[in-house]
Amino acid sequence: MSKIQLYSLATPNGQKVGIALEEMGLEYEPHTINIMKGDQFQEPFLTINPNSKIPAIVDPDFHGESISIIESGAILLHLAEKSGKFLSKDPKSRSETIQWLFFQMGGVGPMFGQFGHFFKFAKDKCDHPYPLDRYKTETKRLLSVIDKRLDGRTFMVGDEYSIADMAIFPWVLCLDKFYEANEILELKEYKNIQSWISRIMQRPASLRGLEVCKM
């Protein structure tokens, strides 16, 4: 085994890694983990990620040995360091990139995911308005943070596309394309985000990454 082995599904968390692998030009083999059928709870995937979450990778060449890596943010950092791409060597820019990557991991992913759950999937299970109102409000707050950050910037960390963009972009795209929440979230009001999405959508490698391990 000489290529990176990717175990994933084209959800926002999985798409981050697909985008990174395509943009970085690293050789890899994709393996679709169908979380709707419970593949994530089966061997041999459990030996790769005991937490039963996608994505995960196996890098056969990590300082001369094979290593399994879990958590999409950790995978992005690993791939950026391995390829030498999309994580600036300038200390300030590097720090900012990692900060915005953690912002996605700690805020955008969990909050957007909870919003999507209550907006799209739990309508027949929870008729109380509180959960949806809570996560809608927080999702819009986070969108405002991203939109303000992008004011006067091409990408999340200045003019250079980075793993921070790769992490945040699929989640923002998901709000419209999968959750179909354009109206309730007033997504068109976030002008800087809309321009940023358009710029990323012009990158062929990122578009290919969105399709990796698609059902």
- Residues 164-201 have pLDDT tens digits of 999 999 999 999 999 999 999 999 999 999 999 999 99
The angle formed by the CA atoms of residues 81, 107 and 15, to the nearest 5 degrees, is 50
With tokens 């945040």, the residue in question is 168
According to the CATH classification, is domain 91-208 in 3.30.110.30?
no
Q: Which amino acid is at 110?
A: P
With tokens 């059928």, the residue in question is 37
Q: Which fold has domain 4-86?
A: Glutaredoxin (3.40.30)
Contact between 20 and 166 (Cβ < 8 Å): yes
Percent of the chain scoring above 90 in pLDDT? 90
Mean of pLDDT values over 137-146 = 98
Mean of pLDDT values over 107-121 = 95
Domain ranges of the chain: 4-86, 91-208
Q: What is the pLDDT of residue 122?
A: 87
Distance, in Å, from the CA atom of 52 to the CA atom of 43, rounded to the nearest integer, reads 10
Distance, in Å, from the CA atom of 113 to the CA atom of 129, rounded to the nearest integer, reads 17
Q: What is the pLDDT of residue 186?
A: 97
Q: What is the pLDDT of residue 203?
A: 98
Mean of pLDDT values over 112-118 = 96
Query: How many C-beta atoms surround the C-beta of residue 11 within 10 A?
Result: 20
- Residues 18-59 have pLDDT tens digits of 999 999 999 999 999 999 898 899 988 999 999 999 999 999
